[in-house]
Structure 1
Amino acid sequence: MIAHLKGRLAATGIDHAVIDVGGVGYLVGASARTLSALGSAGEAAMLHTEMLVSEDSIRLVGFAQAAERDWFRLLTGVQGVGARVALAILSAFDPADLSRAVAAQDKAMVARANGVGPKLAERIVRELKDRIGGIALSPGGTAPIAPVGAGADAVSALLNLGFRPAEASAAVASAQEELGAGVGLDALVRLALRKAAK
């Protein structure tokens, strides 16, 4: 499994980039959002990757952010969403926008991505609502915020311990609110575990 590539950007195309790592050029499929985040040819580049293996091919897909890779995994877990459609969705929306759309069950927003019809958009928001768990609200109580960085890692840790997605997300959000920005992962997981166990 290749988790990331770090090297120099050799070239980009409409839907891919070539990353030169130690003299080996890796062809990596990517969303328009990721391609726009890469610099110019010859500059240093790092992509989080997902390896797709089928009967007749092995492909790499790359992402500028780990959160985008996580959403790719979620999206391709929905029946009818392949890698191409998932990348089209990620080209149209950043992870925070997707989190808001799924939390609000806004199928019309998701349907704006190329290749996503109304029925598929409805299936995506319905199936992913429970899989992304309860999303923390901002202090104003309005806009949902997707967990990123340590928050996302803490939610993942709680999920691995057997907590349900909604429980894990709520506990981590509560712990983040109490501990403030910039808290380390260890402290965040410890407090979230105490909150989830109540």
Structure 2
Amino acid sequence: MAIIRRIHAPLLTPEDAIPHLGAPHHWKEGRSAKSLIDQWWSANAIPQSVKLMLDQAPEWRGADLVDAFVERCTDLSDGRPSHSQSDLLAIVGIVDRLGVLAVEAKVDEGFDKTVDEWRSGSSAGKEARLQKLCALFGLDPQAVGHLRYQLFHRTASAIIEAKRYRVRQAAMIVQSWSSARIGLDDFRAFFAAIGLPDLRDGEFSTVIMIDDVALRTGWVTEPG
């Protein structure tokens, strides 16, 4: 299993993120990785579009950026060699404490495979991971085949990182540069399954408690 390093160095330019991307060609004008990193780098703070959504929740109101990590790997602690890699993980100040904000960037790529597609030709390791993820969210592994696997581990990452930082507030949000809101229906379906129904673009969700962490979610559509 690859070791997740805990010693970090700051980016000196946005392009310093390229070696950490899933593939170098992801760094391209109009693609999600570059759009996200350029926006957060330019602001050197929580972007205004995200702040407006966070401010809808009293415990997140006035949040400010403490630190952010691009392409942050999270160990799902299930023995599999692969980790979940959040596009950006932000540690934010909220009132007199901290919160963890996991950000997934999208343009037109959607959320990749459904659980059924991912587990096709399934191994014992995949089944163990799915069992653990479903247990975290209180779901039946036999009833989630239509949901997008990426949303399981990205949301789990927000919760796991919150617990690792010893904080009780976490959020997993999507920043989308798709005017057609590609992937929004899949996003809504996953969160409805875990207890957060009727999500709308630009609205911060209500709270759901998962493993003693207060989780919220939201979708922000950015100008194309």
TM-score normalised to structure 2 length: 0.32
Specify the structure having the higher radius of gyration (Cα).
1
Q: Which structure has the highest helix share of the two?
A: 1
Q: Report 1 or 2 for greater relative contact order, CA contacts < 8 Å, sequence distance ≥ 6.
A: 2
Q: Which structure has the highest strand share of the two?
A: 2
